[in-house]
Copies of this chain bind each other. A is one copy, B any other.
Amino acid sequence: MKKMIIASTSTIHGSAYLEYLLPTLTTFFKNIKTLLFIPYARAGGISYDAYTAIAQKAFKKIDINVQGIHEYKNASEAIFNAEGIFTGGGNTFELVHQIYKNDILIDLKKVIENGTPYLGTSAGSNICGATMMNTNDMPIVYPPSFKTLGCIPFNINAHYLDPIEGSTHMGETRETRIKEFHVFNETPVLGLREGSWLSVKNDTIVLQGKYTARLFLKDKKPIELESGVEVLV
């Protein structure tokens, strides 16, 4: 029984870290005393300790302790013993690099599939798909593979942005980039706007939050999905 929350972002503009998600997380992590935090993506390049402290501060508001995976001698054991897991955002390349370096990809997939509640935000959400190939991040480190958890049957593009009307910038829009992805790959991609998240219960994936999400299928016109609907690919 999979139980996941896959969020576009940890933080929405003008609000504290995870604040917009806390009502949802209170229910989602009910009865959980201690959450295992994976700070590998190191948002802004901060230390694991500093990053874990940010997560701790947010979860204290709903009476949940947070412990960083780096505090454990054995990362794999920490995952198997976790009551719940949260992977924070930052750089997806560094996150995936560390997941391979610490050899926890298969363990993480296993416990999620066995029902350990999982929360991902941004980079922590990108890794829920088949590959990290739809991240917006800069390739600042070279991971041994782009393959990720494959806990959902499509890839995530977090912080999805619509083309800016009247822009004179010649860099590719997000939609162009995802279309380029589909020249080389088949995997569907969901563009998840900031403030949106997916609620996963086993194989049922429902879009939550107040925005629509944009679903890209190879050689098809993109579809806008309404909040509250099941994501079917």
Contacts and interface: CB of A to CB of B under 8 A. Distances in A.
A183 B184 CA distance: 31
Contact of A168 (B14, B132, B145, B171): B14
A223 to B, nearest CB: 20
A185 B139 CA distance: 11
Interface stretch (A5-13, A50-58, A201-209): A5-13
A141 interface: yes
Interface in A151-185: 159, 161, 168-172, 176-185
A16 interface: no
**Interface SS of chain A:** loop
A137 B170 CA distance: 13
A44 B185 contact: no
B45 A183 contact: yes
Given A132-B139, A133-B140, A139-B135, A194 B169 contact: yes
A137 B177 contact: yes
Nearest to A177: B138
Interface string A59-81: 00000000000000000000000
B140 A138 contact: no
Nearest to A139: B133
B133 A42 contact: no
Nearest to A170: B9
Nearest to A161: B169
Given A42-B183, A90-B180, 19 more contacts: A42-B180, A45-B182, A45-B184, A91-B180, A93-B139, A133-B138, A133-B139, A133-B140, A133-B142, A134-B138, A135-B138, A137-B172, A138-B177, A139-B139, A139-B146, A140-B177, A140-B181, A140-B185, A159-B169
Which 7 residue pairs across A and B have the least CB separation, nearest first?
Answer: A45-B183, A13-B168, A159-B171, A140-B181, A138-B177, A45-B180, A142-B146
13 contacts: A42-B183, A44-B176, A44-B179, A91-B180, A136-B138, A138-B177, A138-B181, A140-B177, A140-B180, A140-B184, A142-B145, A161-B169, A171-B194
